[in-house]
Structure 1
Amino acid sequence: MVTVELLGPLRVWVGGRPVELPAGRLRALLAVLAMSAGRTVPADRLAVAVWGADARGDPRANVRTNVKRLRRALGTAGEQVIAARPGGYLLMADPEQVNALRFGRLLDEAAADPAAERSRLAAALALWRGTPFDGIRSDWLERSVGPALQERYLSALERRVDLELAAGPCPSLTDLADLADLAERHPLRESLWARLLRVLESAGRPAEALERYETIRRRLAEELGADPSPELRQVHAGLLAGDAPPLARAVPRQLPAAAGGFAGREAELAALDALLRPPPAPSRPPDAPPGVADRTRSPAIAVIAGTAGVGKTTLAVHWARRVAGRFPDGQLYVDLRGYDPSRQAVRPAEAIGEFLAALRVPPHQIPDGPAAQAGLYRSLLAGRRMLVLLDNARDAAQVAPLLPGASGCLVVVTSRDHLAGLVVTYGAHPLTLDLLPAVDAERLLAARLGRDRIAAEPAAVEEIVRRCAGLPLALAIVAARAAIHPAHPLGALAGELRDGLGALGRAVDVRAIFSWSYETLADETARTFRLVAGLHPGPGCTIDAAASLAGVPVSRVRAALAELTRANLLTEHAPGRYSCHDLLRAYALELCQARDADRDAARHRVVDHYVHSACAAAAYLHGHFETVALPAPRPGVRVTGFAGADEAMAWLAEERPALLAALDLAAGLGLDRHVCRLAAALFVFLHRRGRWQERAETQRAAVAAARRLGDPVEEARARRDLAAALADLGRFDDAHHHLDAALEQDAPSGRAWTHYIRTLVYGLQGREADALEAARRAHDLFDRLGEEVGQAIALTDLGWYHGRLGNHGQALDLCEQALVRHQKLGNRPYEAHTWSCLADTRLRSGDPAGAVPCYRQALEVFRELHDPYAEASTLAHLGACHHLAGDHASAGEHWTHARALLRGLDPSTADQIHAQLRTIDTSAADAFRGRR
């Protein structure tokens, strides 16, 4: 019996024994005979196939000589394996033992028998190990037989992809990687690329699909001067239409609250209203298909430009809220901070990240790189009616990446600059906002103070309007001053303006208005204004942060903030959160630099506030990572306290921009230890909120800070946290690089945690055997060091991966040991996880009844921890247990409850739970999804 493998490097077995043939013509001779196994091959054809048409000497003699050599190389059975026949030679082999022939037979039968097509295609493709006849020198095999086999292979693979997609579940990640690699090796095979795009779409990765479409489109244009095929264009159109990703259905409502007392601007409002009217249909060639012109239209863009404080944002928000109903797919808003004196302008990539989060794109579906993320953003907006408000833009370069790619959306941009680049390049409609006319300024005052009060003192109102020169921000501050003192006549207010400002005319300096109002403040209130408006790093300041900046008790700062709000120098945009116009921030910073010598001390205190408060919040989210000693806060620092996990998570979510800004501030002040502590505190929170890129960035900052400190232990800690963040982003090689570096730098305790993180990385890679080995190493180190928390965690991981590898008895034993330890240590998050591991192992081992009480225990703790995703997952698995037991009514009740929880979470969570259920039982998974 002889077996020959030709679909890849040559491999030969005779009588079950492997045979290694010498390099050269013997390999080609055997391959040619094997391709006709069981049939005689004429000697002349053998000669041409092995040596080519121009072979030297007697071809038949060459064949005889080399057949003898081949028989000797095959061993004692060589004479029986290669038989002489009249005119030629015969390989005595069953064609089924030659994988290239078996491959062809399976494909022929697959085409003839549709019922078995998927399984036969899978069996045929599994025979493929690489390039046919790899390492064999034969022009006939390389130029004729090999390409034909390759074409059959590619066609079979494409057919299998079509069948898999039609059947429902998307291919595995391994299949996807193989398909992507194959497409790169066949860069101009459009049918293969079309399948790759569809598989990426099915796998929930539309942005990557769009990016790869652009790759093949460019290649076709550059190398062939051709456009993509109709099939590729059709797939691309489906991606742009958003047919695939269920993630694109969120309807964000991000517009900020409208300012009170809006008045005037009728002409500007009418100009904006005109943008809502459909443009005239553009001309198109008579032979163009319907709809072509529509697809090429750009989105409508308005640029509202004007001087600082003229009311650009007020107008934009007022109009946007008025027409929001015309944009049923939602409204997006971002403050680009183009002119903020104390903070950097928002990078386009950062703004796109915020928009993707608002559109509820699951983190694992956000691609790497700004270009790919921008492509996903435009794809999600394609075909939708959305309003996008880009506030306080610095220049056209900041805005251009945030523009949708097609009609249907409307973009409103506000800026002090006219952004001529947007007008020229994108056809934006410019709208210059001038100072308010006197009549509109009076209407604004009337809206704020009441018509009776305005009508009672027309001369005073006229002077107030004249001295504020029609600047809405100045009018708002004066109106606030008048509202604070309702008994004071407006004439007295006008007199104060006259004395404080002089005749400013239309060239009013808004700082003079600020000064006029600021100078009336009590000393402590004035100092609070300078510190809060001038030094706070984030977009909004809480009472605790303000108290820390000022270094005074909360009761005192609360009174100062109330006075500043009444004076319209600060705005309480949410209960207990204060912000102000960027002009007021610039004014406050100027005052602070001139009058407050202890500015750095105030900055240190606010960094202390955020670090200590974030650490206190993080303690509610997890109890299983390394505990790190934290120095006591400076005197005067107010640390925010929390009543429980929900309150802690809400604070972290609200303060996220300020916390990230505080991390940058700490680095700028040289507070590197604070950088490391804050990055560690944000680690779990940013993961749960899907801010995976931010999590990686904060850990990179921690690595850099630890290097500046010259602290290898701290650097190792930051590196392993960075590795976990990179693994979530699919950057496994980088993750392992940082783990290797951490192992070299750290103390034994830290190395144990590094092995623990390695377990997580291997788990995400699907390398379960390697994950088990890493968990074993972590456990051994924790055991030697006597670290009970780490020992218990590693035991759970050991049990989990034993269960995933089918070692159910050992998995149950290890998880039960871990459970006792978690309960003793009070580690409730890992106690719940271990109950879930026990349940999962019992369910996989065919014991759904035994899994139910374990799932119920896990459910109880997850509810206590306020972890809705874990609760929903546990309920779904409980439903699967009942489904498998035939109790479909109970299964339905659990699944209904699970779906109710999932409605408040990221859309991908339901798909994740469905994937978990499919690994246990397909029927339960399908029933769960069918009820959604």
Structure 2
Amino acid sequence: MTRFRLLGEVTIDGRPLATSHASVLTVLSVLLINVNRVVRTEQLVDDLWGERLPAKPRDALYSYLSRLRAALPPDISVRQRSGGYVLQADPGSVDLHRFRALVATARADDQDRVATLTEALALWTGEPFTGLTAPGLEATRPALAAEHLAARLDLHDAQLRLGRHAELLPLLHPLAEEHPHDERLARQLLLTLTACGRQHDALCHYHSLRERLADELGVDPSPETRQVYQRILDGPPTTSAVPRELPARPGHFSARAADLAALTDATGEGPVVISGPGGVGKTALALSWAHDHLDLFPDGQLHLDLLGFTPSGEPVPAADALQRMLAGLGVTSVPDGVDARAALFRSTVADRRMLLVLDNAADSAQVTPLLPGTASCSVLITSRDRLYGVITAVGARALPLTTLSAEDSRLLLAERLGTARLDAEPVAVDELLTWCAGLPLALSAVAGHARMRPGFGLAVLADELRDESDRLQAMDFDDPVASLTVVLSSSYRALEPDHARTFGLLAAAPGPDISLECAKALTGNPRVRGDLRTLERVSLAEEHLPGRWRMHDLVRLYGQANAAPPDLSESLNRLTNHVLHTAAAADRLILSSRRPITLTPCFTVPLAFEDRAAAVAWFDAEHRTVLALQRVADDTTSWQLAWALDSYHQLGRRHMDDFVAALRHGLAAAQRLNDPTALLVLHLLLGKQRLNVNAFAEGERHLRAALVFAEAQNDRWRRVAALITLSHVLQQQGDPLAGLEVALDALTLTRSLGSPAWEAEAITTVGLHATKAGKFDVAEEHCREALTTSMALGDREAEAMSRATLGSVLHATGRHAEALSSLGAAAALFSELGSRFQEALAVEQIGDTLLALGRTAEAGEAYRRALPLVEQRQDSSLASRLRLKIGARSAQDR
């Protein structure tokens, strides 16, 4: 096929035309622009000469047409039609028309889009109709240049979504200089500079653009451009790290080629619901495909087990799921409520090429709030439910999984047991495949059982399945749990008695998984690791993290129904006792000054921790297990577990939704017991927790209830704690004088207790509220007294609080240099102690003091230093305040 080039020097098959006369080339160009369409003679004349006509324009045109026909290849003709001329050729043979076709057909998938647009732009080898100056071609060039620029910008957008900022940046600068008023191009440069860590350059470019538009066009930047600028000012909503949350690739996954291809075809076309019975391989399919296509998701992958069909717990509420995903994205401030969190999640992932795997979903109501709002984010959802609501509401693609074919089932067994072993007993293998009925989890369990007895023929295992007549009804696949029971019973009965007991206990243990130490407590067996390894070999348990085991939910269901040992209740009590006393030991290391409670007697061996970091790490690992145990524990242990969780949850304000639920569960247990001490402790903890999340009215109710119980029991220590916390609540509610009065009551009471540490805290609290009330002399006197006391005690936390409060007093009274010294020392101490929230408050006050001194640039740096310190805090007030101050400083700098 003859190929024509217009986007550069006009050529045919890469060579100049036999005639080099400019007018002949102009006629060819006009006819090719309108290929297969009649071009009127008047238009050809106008395009050739415009208003500067020769003496006989039509005669000259006929001459050029004749010379053109002679120069064209034999398969290309120029024919005369009524009123004009037409050049007949395949539009795809003309680079201009091929360019337009490629641009028009660029797919929504950004990988394909980049490839297609790159191919289209490669057709441009220079200025269209290079060297030709006819009026018609001169008039056409600007429109073609606009098409070329639009295609380049489309390509840039796709490259930005794919995260190719570094390779794009060198191309954008010269292009922006060529098109100084193009705001779409300017926005691309702003985003690219920011993504490359050059926020300052991005802001400078915006200011230059704004001034240029105002001076040269008399307009302001568009709302879209101003929005990009504001996003740069606000800073990134996530950490620099890209989330990589996918669990490990499933082993032995060679089947389901058609399903894998279906997932590939669905990429970029909305969520995919992978549904099917338990154990059919939904999660394995999703993870295998995800690991094979990581390159499609340069902005990361999120994975969340929604616990929709997990015997050991309730499905994850949508609000909690959103909180966890936002945390995985590094979002620093998470609002309350499903709708607010869902909106923030959609905004955070809107411009990202990410993969979201929502595993084990319960129903459509759980999933719908978790879905992104744009097609740039691909979503795989696995569930036993078909999720018709999601399919209907958002047009998700359904991918229902059936059991494996006989061929794929045989392949799975061959991968586990070896082809030679299968070939040696074809009849037994056929029978095993019949019993398993294509359920991947059942096949895995059979293979594990066979591996445990390498000296036994596969016919022995087939006989065991066949001979157990009570299992025939269980092969009804209307009930996937019963179907799996066929295989699991065989694996279970092959276990040694000790291993079988461990299996039953693990199945009954609350929580998503279990650590080795907890398994030792549960079983009472210090050598339980061997049992766990045995269970793993026969696919009844899995060590999914070093030292942590879990069961597939169907295996757990089977164990709960069929393998509960006679000492189950005693074993669960032993596990709960171990966790309670270990949590209490960890709590003491996190906050040693905390008033202890009398725990239920310890009859296990709790863990000991080397330091505070080890204690926090234990809570990080066991947090969900502790919460699950609290739900099934007796009332006394339940409220004591809530107490033991306090220091960990308050540290960095982590998991506050979980903590308030645990406290309320503990309070309900205390009310059932009608235990005054428990009620005092839980009301006090809830009062403190509600203060920390700005729920002041509810906090005040709990604290006043705590005071009633404290007075009734003459518990002066907890009365002091309640008074100090209540003083903060009153001050936060806008009544610093009332807060000061309550703090003075607390101070009077602490002086009678003979505890310098508590006295120092009360003195500091008085100083804080006196500052807020404008009583600076009283405030400074108490702050300096508290500082002296805390330093004498070596209490670094109390010293830090005293220095921070004193800094506030000094700032308020205009002694800014002294304030900077005191606040700087406080911030350093909080940093050493790991108290990120208090450190952020101190650094914020440093910024305020620098601002009062007129050192605005340094103040802005202080606010920017404080902001990352509150990334774990759930309420957004401090983070929002810091962002406002940072934005104000940036605006002032302009």
> Is this contact kept in 2: 1:301–1:429, CA < 8 A?
yes
Q: How does 1:509-588 map to 2 (within 5 A)?
A: 509-533=483-507, 535-550=508-523, 552-553=524-525, 555-588=526-559
Is 1:348 aligned to residue 313 of structure 2? no
> Is this contact kept in 2: 1:247–1:907, CA < 8 A?
no
What's 1:619 paired with? Answer: 588
Distance change >3 Å, CA 823–CA 675, structure 1 → 2: farther
Alignment deviations for residues 339-358 of structure 1 (CA, whole Å, 9 cap, x no partner): 22342233333323333333
What's 2:238 paired with? Answer: 249
Q: CA deviation at 1:454?
A: 5.6
Q: Distance in 2 between matches of 1:352 and 1:918?
A: 25
- Decide which of 659, 663, 676 is 1:712's aligned counterpart: 676
Q: Distance in 1 between matches of 2:883 and 2:345?
A: 31
Q: CA deviation at 1:581?
A: 0.7
Alignment deviations for residues 54-91 of structure 1 (CA, whole Å, 9 cap, x no partner): xxxxxxxxxxxxxxxxxxxxxxxxxxxxxxxxxxxxxx
Distance change >3 Å, CA 424–CA 277, structure 1 → 2: closer
Q: Distance in 1 between matches of 2:410 and 2:562?
A: 31
What's 1:657 paired with? Answer: 624
SS in 2 for 1:390: strand
Q: Distance in 1 between matches of 2:557 and 2:854?
A: 69
> Is this contact kept in 1: 2:312–2:512, CA < 8 A?
no
Distance change >3 Å, CA 245–CA 266, structure 1 → 2: farther
What's 2:697 paired with? Answer: 733
Q: CA deviation at 1:573?
A: 0.8
Q: Distance in 2 between matches of 1:882 and 1:244?
A: 21
Q: Distance in 1 between matches of 2:344 and 2:851?
A: 38
What's 2:649 paired with? Answer: 686
Alignment deviations for residues 182-218 of structure 1 (CA, whole Å, 9 cap, x no partner): xxxxxxxxxxxxxxxxxxxxxxxxxxxxxxxxxxxxx
SS in 2 for 1:303: strand
SS in 1 for 2:549: strand
- Decide which of 385, 388, 408 is 2:376's aligned counterpart: 408
Distance change >3 Å, CA 908–CA 752, structure 1 → 2: closer
Q: CA deviation at 1:859?
A: 5.8
Distance change >3 Å, CA 302–CA 682, structure 1 → 2: same
Q: CA deviation at 1:753?
A: 1.7
Q: CA deviation at 1:754?
A: 1.4
Identity of aligned residues (%): 34
Q: How does 1:248-327 map to 2 (within 5 A)?
A: 248-249=237-238, 251-277=242-268, 300-327=270-297
Q: Which letter maps to 1:675?
A: S
Q: CA deviation at 1:906?
A: 4.5
Distance change >3 Å, CA 867–CA 745, structure 1 → 2: closer
> Is this contact kept in 2: 1:254–1:332, CA < 8 A?
yes
Q: CA deviation at 1:788?
A: 4.1
Distance change >3 Å, CA 455–CA 835, structure 1 → 2: farther
What's 2:175 paired with? Answer: none
SS in 1 for 2:271: strand
> Is this contact kept in 2: 1:547–1:557, CA < 8 A?
yes
Q: Distance in 1 between matches of 2:543 and 2:864?
A: 38
Q: Distance in 1 between matches of 2:354 and 2:233?
A: 19
Q: Which letter maps to 1:604?
A: N
Is 1:600 aligned to residue 569 of structure 2? yes
What's 1:641 paired with? Answer: 608
What's 2:760 paired with? Answer: 792
> Is this contact kept in 2: 1:332–1:389, CA < 8 A?
yes
> Is this contact kept in 2: 1:869–1:909, CA < 8 A?
no
Q: Distance in 2 between matches of 1:375 and 1:277?
A: 21
- Count matched residues: 657
Distance change >3 Å, CA 622–CA 492, structure 1 → 2: same
SS in 1 for 2:505: helix
TM-score (norm 1): 0.62
> Is this contact kept in 2: 1:793–1:830, CA < 8 A?
yes
Q: CA deviation at 1:911?
A: 9.5
Q: Distance in 2 between matches of 1:488 and 1:592?
A: 25
Distance change >3 Å, CA 569–CA 689, structure 1 → 2: farther
Unaligned runs of 5+ in 2: 1-222
SS in 2 for 1:470: coil
> Is this contact kept in 1: 2:840–2:870, CA < 8 A?
no
Q: Distance in 1 between matches of 2:864 and 2:430?
A: 64
Q: How does 1:316-395 map to 2 (within 5 A)?
A: 316-363=286-333, 365-367=334-336, 369-395=337-363
Alignment deviations for residues 315-369 of structure 1 (CA, whole Å, 9 cap, x no partner): 1222233334433444333323232234223333332333333344445x413x4
- Decide which of 799, 812, 815 is 2:783's aligned counterpart: 815
Distance change >3 Å, CA 883–CA 424, structure 1 → 2: closer
Q: CA deviation at 1:451?
A: 5.6
Q: CA deviation at 1:479?
A: 2.8
Distance change >3 Å, CA 628–CA 831, structure 1 → 2: farther
Distance change >3 Å, CA 861–CA 732, structure 1 → 2: closer
Distance change >3 Å, CA 698–CA 546, structure 1 → 2: same
- Decide which of 403, 407, 427 is 1:435's aligned counterpart: 403
Distance change >3 Å, CA 275–CA 833, structure 1 → 2: same
SS in 2 for 1:392: strand
Q: Which letter maps to 1:516?
A: S
Alignment deviations for residues 143-162 of structure 1 (CA, whole Å, 9 cap, x no partner): xxxxxxxxxxxxxxxxxxxx
Q: Distance in 2 between matches of 1:914 and 1:898?
A: 14
Q: Distance in 1 between matches of 2:780 and 2:828?
A: 20
Q: Which letter maps to 1:514?
A: L
Distance change >3 Å, CA 762–CA 684, structure 1 → 2: farther
Q: CA deviation at 1:574?
A: 0.6
Q: Distance in 2 between matches of 1:771 and 1:803?
A: 11
Q: CA deviation at 1:612?
A: 1.8
Q: Which letter maps to 1:741?
A: A
Distance change >3 Å, CA 733–CA 887, structure 1 → 2: closer
What's 1:423 paired with? Answer: 391
Q: Which letter maps to 1:714?
A: A
What's 2:706 paired with? Answer: 742
Distance change >3 Å, CA 730–CA 833, structure 1 → 2: closer
Q: Distance in 1 between matches of 2:358 and 2:696?
A: 36
Alignment deviations for residues 498-518 of structure 1 (CA, whole Å, 9 cap, x no partner): 667898989693212112122
Superposed CA RMSD: 4.2
What's 2:154 paired with? Answer: none
Q: CA deviation at 1:756?
A: 1.0
Q: Distance in 2 between matches of 1:888 and 1:728?
A: 30
Q: CA deviation at 1:597?
A: 3.2
Unaligned runs of 5+ in 1: 1-233, 279-299
Q: Which letter maps to 2:618?
A: W
Q: CA deviation at 1:858?
A: 4.4
What's 2:197 paired with? Answer: none
Distance change >3 Å, CA 433–CA 763, structure 1 → 2: same
Q: CA deviation at 1:266?
A: 0.8
Q: Distance in 2 between matches of 1:877 and 1:268?
A: 58
Q: Which letter maps to 1:540?
A: D
Q: Which letter maps to 1:556?
A: R
> Which stretch shifts more, 319-328 or 470-479?
319-328
> Is this contact kept in 2: 1:836–1:858, CA < 8 A?
yes
Alignment deviations for residues 794-831 of structure 1 (CA, whole Å, 9 cap, x no partner): 11212233345555554444234323443555544323
Q: CA deviation at 1:851?
A: 5.4
Q: Distance in 2 between matches of 1:275 and 1:789?
A: 63
TM-score (norm 2): 0.65
Q: Which letter maps to 1:520?
A: A
Q: Distance in 1 between matches of 2:822 and 2:558?
A: 61
